[in-house]
Each structure stands twice: as structure tokens, then as C-alpha cells.
A and B are shown apart, each in its own frame.
Chain A
Amino acid sequence: MNKVVKDPAQALNGIQDGMTLMVGGFGLCGIPENSIAQLVKMGVKNLTCISNNAGVDDFGLGLLLQGKQVKKMISSYVGENDEFERQMLSGELEVDLIPQGSLAERCRAGGAGIPAFFTPAGYGTEVAEGKEVRIFNGKPHILESALTADFAIVKAWKGDTEGNLIYKATARNFNPMMAMAGKITIAEVEELVPAGTLDPNQIHTPGIFVQRIFQGQKFEKRIEQRTVRSKQ
């Protein structure tokens, strides 16, 4: 099953105003840079973006915020972004903040056909407002629902023509769960290889979850907090 498309334009074909998108990455690590650039080019608006973070002002999902393309962000942490702050405080941008583990599990559940689950995270806080509480093993838990998306856009290190994916280091983060939870999942990879090249033992995301795959032309891979020690 060949899932290869030739470029980001073909990969993102069908994304329309008002859709819900999942976008992989943690901070700027493991984000689908080429696809985000294409979303800017397409100019689609009123998007709901499910992504752990919202990028920085001039990179990552911050680029979509600059163009006022996002109606609502569903994230766990959204610091490091002035334009985000401005739009949030002015009420232009809706923001739904979710504990990081619950966000990850809600995506996983969405892809795994589990409509909801109980978690202790957020019990007794404003996150629990309006949610069912149930006691398990003497401990209160809140009911969290699954998340799915019209399109999930993920980034992997290597991928093959069947859509099988391998991620590198901590660039894996939210990508595998989001790949599972998209009605259509688009994978952009650093290296696209023919089926049979990757060792089936090493696949992180099986190709069944991926509908379209392409090799990104360029990856800037910007570092948010470059931290080093001196060699002395």
C-alpha cells in the first residue's frame, strides 16, 4: 500500500477552515515543520489545534497564531509566546488547558477506540469542574474523554512507503498517539525509504495509522533552550 505523496501541498490537501487538527511535538522538538509551513501557505482559518504546546512567536504553531488561523488551542503548556498571550487575553483565542498526561492519554484513547477513562490527575482542581468523579481503590478520579481529529500531522525520523514510522530520541513525544487519533494522518519524515528497508522489530508507529507520508524538504530543528556545559 503506497502512501507516498510528493509534497506538503498534496499531503495537506483537504484541510479546510474550521477543522480540528492534532499536531505532534513537545516544544519545538519533533514538530512537523514542513506541514506547518504549508498550513500557513494555505491560509486555512478557524482551526482547532490539539498540540502539547503552541510554538514560539516565529516558529512552530506560533506561525499559525501570527496569521490568526487558530480559533482554539488544546494544550498543556503555552508559555514562551507573546502573540499567543495577546490573543488569549483579548479573547480572540480560546484555550483549553489539559494536564499533560491526560492530554496524551486522551489522544491515545481516541485512536484506541476508548471513549473515556478515569484519571486522578486534576481531581480537586478547576480541571475537574463539571466532570464525573468516581472513587477507585479509595482514591478519587475524574472522567476524561477521548480526543480525535479530522487530520493528525506528525513528524518522524524515518518512514517507509507503507507509512511505518520510527522516531528519534525525545522527538517521539506526542507523535505516536496523535498518529493513532487522526481520521487522516499525515506523516512528514526526514528520511523516506522503500518498504522492507526498516526492521519490522523497530517500528514505533505501524503504517495502519498513517494515510499519507512525505519526506520533508528541510528541517530547521530549532532549539528552544540551548543548554551546554563547558569542556574545560
Chain B
Amino acid sequence: MALDKTGIAKRIAQELQDGWYVNLGIGIPTLVANYIPEGIEVEFQSENGVLGMGPFPFEGEEDPDLINAGKQTITTRAGASFFDSAMSFAMIRGQHVQLTVLGAMEVSQNGDIANWKIPGKMVKGMGGAMDLVASAENIIVAMMHSNKAGESKILKACTLPLTGVGCVKKVVTELAVMEIKEGKFHLLERAPGVSVEEIIAKTEGDLIVPDFVPEMQL
């Protein structure tokens, strides 16, 4: 069975390592915070100026001065800090943040990512995505394998305007975990019950498939 959004978030959460500072994008990436593996400590950075984000506030305890990059009300954990936007992106550009998780419309086999603009549609802007993908050492993309028309979003080359080039290292979809290296996708894991054939059929980019592809352990 293909994973749902929660499943994708759970699988990505397994990539977290103790002591990491992590930036989570809007959408599926935000859910990753709910599944931090036991025994490890990570701190979440939000590019609007907070380190040490906690859960959403209880009703009645919202503070309009305390939001995340998705403009949602949040809380902070003990040890949190606030800073301005220039310092926030110094953390990102300066590679002090160990992992960035974000969504994408398309990813290509050389690690390009497109996630901010569809020609002919209203352009909302790139926000911090271009800064994040250009600088993060470790980028995991959380996305669906195909679009609503059933076309693969795992491509030889992106067709949409790019957000960044040669930057994505790992992609987690509802079907598979794939690594990008040497200009190709490499299949690492498949979702429980999903066949290798289905993944191959739904991947337009070059996909290296080893003899044995383990199922994700969720």
C-alpha cells in the first residue's frame, strides 16, 4: 500500500540524528516534527526567526507575535531563541542547519528541484526555498511520486522553473525512498506492499534498482 502523508513524514523522521538543527517546510515536512524517534534530540528552526519550536499552542494561548514560517501560531521549547531574518538565513546559508525537509512539484535525477512557480498560474513567490536548497548540506524532499494527472514528478529533467540545481540528496514519496547520486535515482526502499515494478513504472527519470529492495520499516 502506498503511504499517506503521515507515513511519508514518519519515514523521513527516521533520518533525524541526535543533535541536529532541522528546518521543516510547509505541508508534509511540518508533520515530521510529530515523529521524532525516541532517544534523540533535535531542534527545529523556522526561517522567520525562531530556534526551538514547540507544538501548537492550546486554544486561548495563541500569541500573535509567535508564529512559524507557515504563519501558524506556535509555542517554544525550553532553550529556544529568537533572531532576525538576516541571522536566520545566516544559519541556513552558513550551513549551521544540518537538515532541510521540503516539498516539491518536480525533482530531477541530477538533484534539481522545482517547487515555486507554475507558468501561467499566479506566482506566490519562493519565500525562503531558494536560500534553503542552495545552502543545505542535506536536503530531503517529501513529495508524491506522480501528479494528479498520473504523470511522474520524478524526472530526467525538471520542466517547471527551478528553485535550485543539483541540491537534492534524497526523496521520500508515498511509494519509495530514493537517493540521488551520480546523476541518477537509486531505489533504496519501497513502501510496504508496493512492488518494484510499480515504482519503475511511475518513475520517468533513470532509476537504479538493486537486486533486493527492502520494505520501509515504519
Interface residues of A (CB under 8 A from B): 26-30, 52, 75-79, 85, 88-89, 95, 97, 99-105, 107-108, 119-127, 157, 167-177, 204, 221-231
B82 engages A170 (CB within 8 Å): yes
Given contacts A95-B123, A97-B125, 4 further A-B contacts (CB under 8 A): A99-B129, A105-B86, A170-B46, A228-B57
With contact pairs A122-B134, A170-B49, A222-B64 given, residues A77 and B124 touching in the complex (Cβ less than 8 Å): yes
- Given A27-B67, A108-B86 in contact, is the A229-B131 Cβ separation under 8 Å? no
B67 proximity list for chain A (CB < 8 A) = 26-27, 29, 170, 223-225
- A231–B125 CB distance below 8 A: no
- Complex Cα distance, B134 from A168, in Å, reads 30
Partner of B49 from A78, A103, A173, A225 at Cβ < 8 Å = A173
What are 17 A-B contacts with C-beta separation under 8 Å? A26-B67, A76-B128, A100-B128, A101-B93, A105-B89, A107-B86, A119-B134, A120-B93, A120-B134, A126-B161, A127-B130, A169-B63, A170-B46, A170-B65, A177-B85, A204-B84, A229-B58
Binding site for A on B (CB under 8 A): 46-50, 55-68, 70-74, 82-86, 88-89, 92-93, 112, 122-131, 134-135, 161-166
Cβ of A174: which chain B residues have Cβ within 8 Å of it?
A: 84-85
Report whether B58 and A99 are in contact in the complex, using a CB–CB cutoff of 8 Å: no
Q: Which residue of the partner chain A has the closest CB to B162?
A: A125
Residues in B neighbouring A26, C-beta threshold 8 A: 48-49, 67, 71, 85
In the complex, which residues of chain B have a beta carbon less than 8 angstroms from the beta carbon of A52?
A: 85
Per the bound structure, the CA–CA distance linking A170 and B126 in Å amounts to 20
Determine the residue in chain A with the shortest Cβ distance to B125.
A77
Known contacts A77-B127, A101-B89, A227-B72; A123/B56 CB under 8 A: no
**Minimal beta-carbon separation of A176 from chain B (angstroms):** 4
Report Cα–Cα, A75/B126, bound state, in Å.
9
User: Could you say which of B74, B86, B127, B162 contacts A124, with CB atoms under 8 Å apart?
Assistant: B162
> Which one of B60, B112, B122 lies within 8 Å of A85 (CB-CB)?
B122
A104/B58 contact (C-beta < 8 A), A124-B165, A126-B161, A222-B64 known:
no
Report how far A168 CA is from B125 CA in the complex, Å: 26
Closest to A126 in B: B161
How far, in angstroms, from A175 to B62 measured CA to CA in the complex? Answer: 22
Minimum CB–CB distance from A92 to chain B (whole Å) comes to: 15
- The answer to whether A89 and B64 touch across the interface, beta carbons within 8 angstroms, is no
Q: Among the listed A101, A125, A231, which residue makes an inter-chain contact with B58, where contact means beta carbons less than 8 Å apart?
A: A231
Contact A77 B59 (CB under 8 A): no
Tell me the bound Cα distance from A101 to B59 in angstroms. 32
The complex places the Cα of A172 from the Cα of B83 at a distance, in Å, of 7
